[in-house]
Amino acid sequence: MNREALITTLKKIVKPYIQDEEAFANLTEDTDFINDLKINSANLVDVVLDVEDEFDIEIDNDSMEQMLSVKVALDIIESKLSQ
């Protein structure tokens, strides 16, 4: 899966949790889950769990700690998929 396809899938995953439609519509790799999309911190774990289910990967705690932006999420997904 290329980066563009990954972003499309990630957008689908985060959509139920976002609280800022405009930031979501303009989502780029630099978009921050909390500061920009206003995802509640209590829902970040749902994003992590949904990513695990969607890509059939396991996100370890060290990776999860960093997963606050689209870019980092994509990097983690890519690296787990290539393992």
Partner 1 sequence: MIGNDVIDLKLAEKESDWTRRGFLKKQFTKKEQKSIYESKDPFTLVWALWSLKEAAYKIWVQQSKKRAFNPLNFECKFTSEDQGIVCFESQKVHTNTHFNEFFIHTVACFDKEAEVYSEIGSPQTIDQRLKKQIESKTGVPASEIEQRKSEFGVPSYYHQGSLLVSACSMSHHGNYGAFCFLEE
Residues in contact with partner 1 by the rule CB under 8 A: 17, 34-35, 40-46, 48-49, 52, 61, 64-68
Q: Whole-number minimum distance, CB 61 to partner 1, in Å? A: 6
Q: Closer to partner 1 at the Cβ: 8 or 35?
A: 35
| CA-closest candidate to residue 51, choices 75, 21, 20 | 75
Cβ-based nearer residue to partner 1, 1 or 49: 49
Q: Which of 46, 37, 61, 47 is nearest to 10 (CA)?
A: 47
Helix, strand or coil, per DSSP, at residue 32: strand
Question: Residue 37: helix, strand or coil by DSSP?
Answer: coil
- The nearest distance, CB 81 to partner 1, in angstroms, is 19
Report the nearest approach of partner 1 to the CB of residue 46 (Å): 7
E-state strands within the chain: none
Q: Which is nearer to partner 1, 4 or 58 (CB)?
A: 58
